Amino acid sequence: MKHESGQPAALGPGSGDSAPGKALSARRALAWAAGFSLLLAWLPAAVPVLAWLAWPQVLISALAHELGHGVAALISGGRFDALGLYADGSGVALTRSSGGALQRAVIAAGGPLGPPIAALGLFVCARRAHTSRVALGLIAMFLLAALVLWVRNPFGAFWVGSCALLAGAMAWRAPAAWAQALVCLVAVQLCLSTLSRLDTLFSRIAHTGAGELASDTGQLSALLGGPHWFWGVLIALLSAGVMLAGLWAFFRALRAVR
């Protein structure tokens, strides 16, 4: 049941607008997000007829990965020209750089490292219902900007537009607990984005809807030296470290409000 204000009804001592209640709400949101993510990962493998359940996760991972390349290009002084997202779960980001090896390496690393870095920020926002709504609103605006500026293929436009509308609707109308849970879910999915793509991290070639291209680690190997598997291991460890840092920041803040 809900109060007339639209906030979830108090569940007893330690709930509601009190600090312990907010901490409890955040923990429940994270527990729900983690449990739901594990269920979505397990069901397709256990029940093959439900394999389609993994499709949205794959698309979220691909979108976050390609946006990571594009944002890394913009931050490093390059250009983000176009983004393609395909129904098979692959994607391509077309970027331009000044030609320096280091800048191109930053762009290549931005794909696998961008999602967990974004997840860290979302974990910080997910500690409170208000900042969860703000995060969803910012996600919606960023995806709408991506749709207008970079997305160039019909399926990519459909998926990015759908995600933007969902995030915007949840930020505007969803109950506070739902908004908080969705931000936690997106953060968990972004954390899993790189760690669930270990096959691509340890491959020289990436198979995409646009054809075969050099993988991110293959590009890093060519630009900076060393075997591609070394860069795969390094990126996996960095991704796991950023994910743990986000969880640490999340729970540290909750302990502070007890």
pLDDT 10s digits, 24-39: 677 777 778 878 877 8
Return mean pLDDT, the chain. 82
Mean pLDDT value across residues 230-252: 82
Residue with more model confidence, 14 or 160: 160
Three-state DSSP state, 206: strand
Considering the domain boundaries, does residue 49 fall inside one?
A: no
Residue with more model confidence, 246 or 134: 134
Mean pLDDT value across residues 107-133: 89
Considering the domain boundaries, does residue 28 fall inside one?
A: no
Mean pLDDT value across residues 184-203: 79
pTM for this entry: 0.81
Considering the domain boundaries, does residue 31 fall inside one?
A: no
Structural domain that includes position 173:
55-195+215-256
Considering the domain boundaries, does residue 68 fall inside one?
A: yes
pLDDT at 57: 85
Mean pLDDT value across residues 148-167: 95
The one-letter amino acid code at 109 reads: A
Burial zone of 238 (CB within 10 Å; 0-12 exposed, 13-18 middle, 19+ buried): middle
CA angle 171, 70, 215 (to 5 degrees): 120
pLDDT at 193: 78
The domain tally of the chain equals 1
pLDDT at 137: 96
pLDDT at 13: 36
Three-state DSSP state, 37: helix
Query: For residues 235 and 109, is the Cβ–Cβ distance under 8 A?
Result: yes
Residue with more model confidence, 143 or 175: 143
